[in-house]
Amino acid sequence: MKPYYQDNAVTIYHGDCREILPQLDPVDLVLTDPPYGINANVKTHSTRRNCQRIFKGIKHINKDWDDIFGDNEPFNPSVFLSFPEICFFGANHFADKLPVSACWIIWDKRDGGPSDDNADCEIAWSNFKGPARLYRQMWRGWLRAGVENISISGGKMHPLQKPIGLMKFCINLSKTTGLILDPFMGSGTTLRAAKDLGRKAIGIEIEEKYCEIAAKRMAQEVLAL
């Protein structure tokens, strides 16, 4: 099993996580945003229309994304439930397949701003010990707070990309200190957050174009603002 990319903190594998998982070393934390089985239409960005209505005169260049691989079938989390710590984003779409947990994580994507056609928040299930937690960071289309807010014309490298700050927040809720796994890596945000925090991580991604993007992000020792 040859890595697509590897450095002293991060290893990336290109392939199907179901085939790669049995070959991995023990993992402490699974932190991921899997395909939910909802056939998300990422080609249409209603947020663009709403933002232009609110911020008139600002030019926005829209991106056309490919469909999310694997999003046309229900997600089965059972293969991951034996790991010591787990955090699944989008778990409200498959909550009936998960154990009861007190520590749900709510990501407030509006951060005090008005609602639009998209969700005001995203929800993650975890088996962390402790109460439910709230994280606030604006993330509405091309209006994004944090290091990803690099230009009006864009900056996202994956249609469902999460902010690095959010993934750092989730990692810091973990009680483990060992290896982190993102089996649906996308553009590598979980890995970038782990590396920034001094944690070792493994990412698996079935689409090679995102492996390439993630590898380039990992090669940056200091993120550009």
Q: pLDDT per residue over 145-173, tens digit each?
A: 877 655 433 466 666 789 999 999 999 99
Q: Could you tell me if 103 and 124 are in contact, meaning their C-beta atoms sit under 8 angstroms apart?
A: no
> Which residue in 113, 92, 79 sits closest to 38, CA to CA?
92
Q: Could you tell me if 48 and 59 are in contact, meaning their C-beta atoms sit under 8 angstroms apart?
A: no
Q: What element of type H or E holds 59?
A: none
Domain boundaries, given as residue ranges, for the chain: 5-219
Size of the chain in residues: 225
Q: pLDDT per residue over 3-31, tens digit each?
A: 999 999 999 999 999 999 999 999 999 99
Name the CATH superfamily for 5-219.
Vaccinia Virus protein VP39 (3.40.50.150)
Q: pLDDT per residue over 58-91, tens digit each?
A: 333 445 545 555 445 778 999 999 999 999 999 9
> Which residue in 170, 209, 211 sits closest to 10, CA to CA?
211
Amino acid, res. 223: L
Task: Give 174: exposed, middle or buried? Use CB within 10 Å, 0-12, 13-18, 19+.
Answer: buried
> Which whole number is the average pLDDT over 190-209?
96
Please report the pLDDT score of residue 57 as a whole number. 37
This prediction has a pTM of: 0.81
Please report the pLDDT score of residue 195 as a whole number. 96
Q: pLDDT per residue over 27-54, tens digit each?
A: 999 999 998 754 544 444 433 333 333 3
Please report the pLDDT score of residue 144 as a whole number. 79
Question: Between 164-173 and 189-196, two packed helices, what is the crossing angle to 10 degrees?
Answer: 60
pLDDT at 142 over 50: yes
